[in-house]
Structure 1
């Protein structure tokens, strides 16, 4: 059996316990026992126990989102609507909202906050890459940082949303994306204003020195200065 298959078995077994015990050591041990996996092998595959399973659960949702996006008809859609659809599909790919709620609690802990931030950044990077983003300058970072903020706030709203079909969440998501689009429009107006444009000369020069990572599969950092 492949290691990925074993981790999938562990994750499936863990999800039964997460609603009661969270992403904890108790859940990990119960999953190992239920899946009939050798404890030493399970620990070798998941050195941090349930934390690694929680990250695996997030990655599984990302993979499902990509499948759903691939089956969607995006031709003719505005780009902001494609982004909104991707975030919506990512949330609809979640089979267990309580597992996400418990994950939010886990990754709010200081020792795991960086893992949670990296997971969200990875989701947003997948969305931009899948929708054809080709930026290589500072926009590579700002697009992902902005979407990470939109995604995070939408997840928190969704966790407390009991409206039919989560319609309140999708309306909230649309408002957040509209806010971003208005901000981008304001920046464009400033650049087009001959009185205000000189104020951006310094910041835009600095931004032009920042480049995205050479390896699209990587995270941070990129580079500053010459072209990468």
Structure 2
């Protein structure tokens, strides 16, 4: 029921976002148009339109993951799988104006953290879906680099009026090529005896950096959850 209400509110909001942005007016109009009870709407989206904008982004992420799992990309080079994933994510966007409005919203200081987490989350989903197994500092660098690629490509796409977004895909390929060139230079430095000695200290520090531990799901069986004060006798 709550998932249906989420979708109803988001679908209703998207009709108003091009005119009113991700605003309180849009949130109120979405409640009215969707016939979702006001208390439930506020329970599902406590921050109103900001949480609706986040839900819109995550809907696109889910569509991207679904397509990545459905497509057979194994015959592609890995750099082309990454490019395909970014393209799938952009093609999952059903409303370009909603993205423009969202970019303005998440550029505000109070919501900049939310915007950064959304982009990082998209990059993380891409790497995880493509089977990334890195455990060290590369876990961070891969996601940071892809976040930059995705963010810059989205900005380019918003201003692209070429047929079929042809210019955007060309821009994406150039960005991926730049990343691959950087990785090639990094590998050459690590293979160089002199450079590797100079970087021994920094590399040792980086070797101590590990990917964050996955938090166990507290709702799954087998995990102890401390009782609240109310449960104590």
Question: 2:199 and 2:170 mapped to 1: Cα distance?
Answer: 34
Q: Report the Cα offset of residue 192 of structure 1.
A: 1.2
Using a 3 Å threshold, how does the CA distance of structure 1 residues 216 and 176 change in structure 2: closer, same or farther?
A: farther
Counterpart in the other structure of 2:202: 203
Counterpart in the other structure of 1:5: 4
Question: 2:157 and 2:45 mapped to 1: Cα distance?
Answer: 29
Question: 1:171 and 1:217 mapped to 2: Cα distance?
Answer: 41
Q: Report the Cα offset of residue 217 of structure 1.
A: 8.6
Runs of 4+ deviating beyond 6 Å: none
Q: Report the Cα offset of residue 8 of structure 1.
A: 0.7
Question: 1:199 and 1:15 mapped to 2: Cα distance?
Answer: 54
Counterpart in the other structure of 1:140: 139
For residues 7-156 of structure 1, the aligned pairs below 5 Å read: 7-156=6-155
Using a 3 Å threshold, how does the CA distance of structure 1 residues 165 and 19 change in structure 2: closer, same or farther?
A: same
Residue aligned with 1:211, SS: coil
Question: 1:187 and 1:74 mapped to 2: Cα distance?
Answer: 26
Using a 3 Å threshold, how does the CA distance of structure 1 residues 71 and 217 change in structure 2: closer, same or farther?
A: farther
Q: Which structure 2 segments of 5+ residues have no match?
A: 218-233
Question: 1:34 and 1:156 mapped to 2: Cα distance?
Answer: 31
Question: 1:42 and 1:77 mapped to 2: Cα distance?
Answer: 44
Q: Which structure 1 segments of 5+ residues have no match?
A: 219-228
Question: 2:133 and 2:74 mapped to 1: Cα distance?
Answer: 18
| C-alpha distance after superposition, 1:173-193 (max 9, x if no partner) | 010111011001001111111
Question: 1:216 and 1:207 mapped to 2: Cα distance?
Answer: 23
Question: 2:69 and 2:104 mapped to 1: Cα distance?
Answer: 31
| C-alpha distance after superposition, 1:189-213 (max 9, x if no partner) | 1111122111110111000111101
- Which deviates the most, 7-16 or 195-204? 195-204
- Which deviates the most, 103-112 or 209-218? 209-218
Residue aligned with 1:137, SS: coil
Q: Report the Cα offset of residue 216 of structure 1.
A: 7.2
Counterpart in the other structure of 1:226: none
Using a 3 Å threshold, how does the CA distance of structure 1 residues 59 and 48 change in structure 2: closer, same or farther?
A: same
Question: 2:14 and 2:37 mapped to 1: Cα distance?
Answer: 19
Counterpart in the other structure of 1:223: none
Question: 1:157 and 1:202 mapped to 2: Cα distance?
Answer: 38
| Largest Rg, 1 or 2 | 2
TM-score normalised by structure 2 residue count:
0.91
Q: Report the Cα offset of residue 41 of structure 1.
A: 1.4
Using a 3 Å threshold, how does the CA distance of structure 1 residues 158 and 217 change in structure 2: closer, same or farther?
A: farther
| C-alpha distance after superposition, 1:11-43 (max 9, x if no partner) | 000000000000000000000000011112111
